[in-house]
Amino acid sequence: MAAAPQDADSAYRDARIRILGAQDLIRQGQYTKVYETAAPELPPSLRHSDIAVDRLWTLAIAASKLGRFDEARRDLDEAQKLAAQSHPDRLPQVLLVRANMMMFPLAARKRAATEALRAAKRTGDVKTQTKILGTLGNIAAMSEHYDEAIDYGEKTQRLAITLHDESLLHKTEGNLGWYLNEIGDRENAEEHLRAAIAAATRMHAEDNRLVYLLNLGASEMSRGDLKAARREFVEANELAAKLSSSEKGNAERSIAEIELLEGHLSAARAENAKARQFNQKEEGTEPALAVQRSLILDARIDLAENKLDDATATLERVLAEAKSKSVRWEAEYRLADVCAANNKPEAADHHYRAAVETVDQARQDVRQTELKFSVPDLATPLYDAYIDFLVRQKRAGDALRIAELNRARTLAEGLQIDDEKFDPRAAAREANIVALSYHLGRTRSFLWVITPADVKLFDLPPAATIESAVDRYQETFATARGGLETNGARGEELYRMLVAPAANVLQRVRRLAIIADGRLLPFNFETLVVPSTHHYWIEDVTIETVPSVQLLSRARDDRNRGRLLLIGDAAPADRAFPPLQYAGEEMQRVKKHFDRTTMLSGARATPHAYFDSSPESYGFVHFVAHAIAMRQRPLDSAVILARDGEGYKLYARDVIAHPIKARLVTISSCHGAGRRAYHGEGLVGLAWAFLRAGSHEVIASLWEANDRATSSLMDSMYSAIQAGHDPVDALRIAKLQLLHSKTIYRKPFYWAPFAVYTGS
C-alpha cells in the first residue's frame, strides 16, 4: 500500500515523457514515429487522465498528416469528449488542434478556434490564447481576409515576444510572410520568411520550415529570381518526401512552374502531373485549391505548346468550379491570353476585364489603407499582358486607361476623386500641361504623350533595360562626385530611351508632368542629359511629378496663400538625429518672405504643436528637420521634431488623419519623398501623406539633402514665389541658380534631390 502512490507517480511520469516525445516528433515532422511513441495504450489508471487527452490529440495530428482522416476524427472526438467531461484545462488545446486541421471546412475550423479562445480565457492560459490568435489569422487568410489575418498575426507576434516563445514566434513570422505575400507585399514577406526559416532550422522544426521555403520561393519567383526560387522549391520537395508531407504536391507544382518559365515544357508537364496526382488524393479546402492551380499551370503549358483548345477547356473547367478570388483572376487572365493567341480579340478583352475586376474586388476586401498599396503588385503580369494586348489591337487610348487604372488609387479614393471620368486630353487641357505617362513592361515598355489635343503612344525598351540604365546612371549620381564630366554619357543614354522617341512631339513643350512607373518613380527626370546640347534637361523644361492622369489638374485654392507655418530647428530628442547646422539659418531665410508666419522652433517644435497650430488654416507649411523614410511600413515615415509627452515623430499616418488646404508643403529634409515604391500607388512616404491630407503640392527630397545648399535653395525658391511664380517654376528657378553657380553646388547631388509632387 505504501508503494502504490510511488508506482502511480512513476507511471504518470513515464507516460508524460512519452507523449511529450511524440509531440516533439510532430514538431520535427516525423509523423510515422509519433505512432511508435504514442500509440501504445496507457495503463488503466491513466486512461481518463489529462495525459490521455494529450495522447489522443497528438495521435489525431499524426493521423491527419499521414492522410488517415477517419482515425484523426475518431481520436480528436474522443479527446474533446474526455477534456469536456474531466479536464476543462485541456479543452482549449484540443479545440485548437481541430481548428488547425485542413480536413475540416473553414467554417467549422473558425467555430472551433473561437470556442477554443473562449475556453482559454476561462482557464487564463495566455500561451494557448496566443496560439489560437495565430490560428484565427490563418483561417482569415484562407478566407482571403488578409488584413484581418495580418491583424491577428501582429497581435500573436507581440504576445510571442512577451512570452519569450521562439517556437511560437517563428510560426508567427512564417504566417505573416504568407499573408503579406498574398497581398503582394513581397519585400516585407521575404523578411519575415527568412527570419522564420532561420528560427525553424535552429529548432529542427522541419514541417514548418518546409512551408516557409515554399512561400519564400513563391515570392522570389514572382519578382523574377528563378534561380533562388528553384533552390527553395527543390529543398522543400526533398523535405516533403522525407516527412511524407501533404505539401509535396505544392512543392512539385512550384518546380513545374519554374520549368515552364525557363522553357522546359516536358519537364514542367511531368512535374505538374505528379503534383496534381498527389493533391487529388488529399481532402479539405487547400488541396482543392492546389488542384485548381495545377490545372491552370497545365493550361499555361498547353498555351506554350499551342494546344489552344485543350487550354481553353481546362481554364473554363477551373472557372466553373473556383471560388477563390486569386484562382479566379488568374484563370480569367490565362484564358484571355489563350483567346488572344487564338485570334479572338473580343473574348480576350472580356476575360482580361473580368480578371481586372476580380483583382479590384480583392483590393476592396482589404480595408486598411497601408495594406491596399501592394495589392496591384500581385497583378503586375496581368496588367502588363492586357496593356500589350490593347496596344497590339491599336487601342492606345484603352491601353492608357488600363495603365492608369490603379495609379494612385488609394490617394484618389482618400481625396474622393471620381475615377469614372477618364479623359486624359481634358485633364491636360485643364492643367495647361503636357504629361508623359510611362509603363514599364517585361517585354516592352510604353510612353504616352498626353497633350490638350491628342494622345500619342511610343514604344520603349523592356523594363529590365531601362532599370539597368537608371541604376548605372545613379551609381555616382547621388553623391558629390556625380556630374556631366563623370556620367553625362549615361544621362544621355537614358534620355535616348525615355524621351527621344517622342522628341518631335515635345519640340516646343516647356512644361511637363511626369507620371512614372517602376524604377522611374524615385528618379528625377530633370537630371537627364540632352545629347544635342550635353546639358541637363532642367535647362529646357519645367517638370512636376504627378501620381496619375486623373490627378493632373486640381482647382487651386489660394485663400491664406500668404500665411506660413514654419516648423524646425527642433531641440534634439534622440542622439541618432543631431542638430542640423544650418537649420536656424534656413528658418530665418524662409520667414523673411512672408508677412504672416507662425514659427515653431527649439523645444516648441513638437508633433503636438503641429496639430495644435491648426495647419489647415495655412497656405504654406515648411519643415526644416530630419526625416526618416520607412520601407517596410511607409506610413511610419516621420518628420523628426522635439520631444513632447507622446514622442518626437510626426508620423505620415497621423498627417493623413488631419486634413489641410495648403498651397504648398515643403519637407526640407532627407528622403521626404519616401523610399518604397508600389506598382500602383507610386512612391509612398511623407510627400504622399501630405498630398493625401490635402496639400496641392509637396516638395520633398529623394535622397539625403545637404542642409547648407538646401538653405540657399529654399531662400531662392520663396523669393521666386514672392515674385509671383508658382511653386513648380519657383523651385526650378532656384535649382538653376545653383546649377549655374561656380561653386560645388552646381553638382546635381545638391540641387536635384528635391522634386515637386502635385496631386490634391
For the chain, the structural domain boundaries read: 427-551, 563-758
Give the right CATH number for 563-758 from 3.55.50.30, 3.30.390.50, 3.40.50.2000, 3.40.50.1460. Answer: 3.40.50.1460
**pLDDT > 60? residue 12:** yes
Q: Using CA atoms in the order 160, 165, 167, 173, what is the torsion angle rounded to 10 degrees?
A: 30
Axis crossing angle, helix 106-123 with helix 91-100, rounded to the nearest 10: 160
Cα distance between residue 208 and residue 212, in whole Å: 6
User: What confidence score (pLDDT) does residue 1 get?
Assistant: 31
715 pLDDT above the threshold of 70: yes
**Terminus-to-terminus CA distance in the chain, angstroms?**
87
- pTM for this structure? 0.78
The per-residue pLDDT of the chain, averaged, comes to 87
Q: Domain 427-551, what architecture? A: 2-Layer Sandwich (3.30)
pLDDT for 371 equals 66
Q: Which helix (H) or strand (E) holds 675?
A: none
Q: How is residue 715 annotated by DSSP?
A: H
At residue 702, does pLDDT exceed 80?
Answer: yes
For 113, list phi and psi in degrees, rounded to 5. Answer: -65, -40
Sorting pLDDT into bands at 50, 70 and 90, what band is 35? confident
pLDDT band, residue 5 (cuts 50/70/90): very low
Flag whether pLDDT at 661 surpasses 60: yes
Burial class from Cβ neighbours inside 10 Å (0-12, 13-18, 19+) for residue 228 reads: middle
Q: What is the band of 196 on the pLDDT scale with cuts at 50, 70, 90?
A: very high
What tens digit of pLDDT does each residue of 725-737 get? 999 999 999 999 9
Edge-to-edge strand order for the sheet containing 664-668?
455-460, 445-450, 434-439, 511-515, 542-545, 754-758, 697-701, 664-668, 620-624, 563-570, 596-602
Q: Each residue of 410-447: pLDDT tens digit?
A: 777 677 776 667 889 988 888 889 999 999 999 999 99
Structure confidence by residue, pLDDT tens digits, 40-58 = 888 888 889 999 999 999 9
Supply the pLDDT for residue 224. 86
Instruction: Look at residue 561 in the predicted model and tell me its pLDDT.
Output: 62
Residues 6+ apart with CB under 8 A from 724: none
Q: For the chain, what percentages of helix, strand and coil (3-state, to nearest 5) are there? A: 60, 10, 30
Strand partners, 302: none
**Higher-confidence residue: 143 or 280?**
143
635's CB contacts (< 8 A; 6+ apart) are 369, 370, 651, 652, 653, 656, 684, 689
Residues in CB range of 77: below 8 A, 6 or more apart: none
DSSP H stretches of helix in 577-675: 583-591, 607-612, 652-656
Q: Is the pLDDT of residue 283 over 80?
A: no
Strand 697-701, strand 664-668: pairing: parallel
Residue 446 gets which letter from DSSP?
A: E
Sign of the alpha-carbon dihedral angle for 31, 37, 40, 45 = negative
Grid coordinates belonging to 378: 500581385
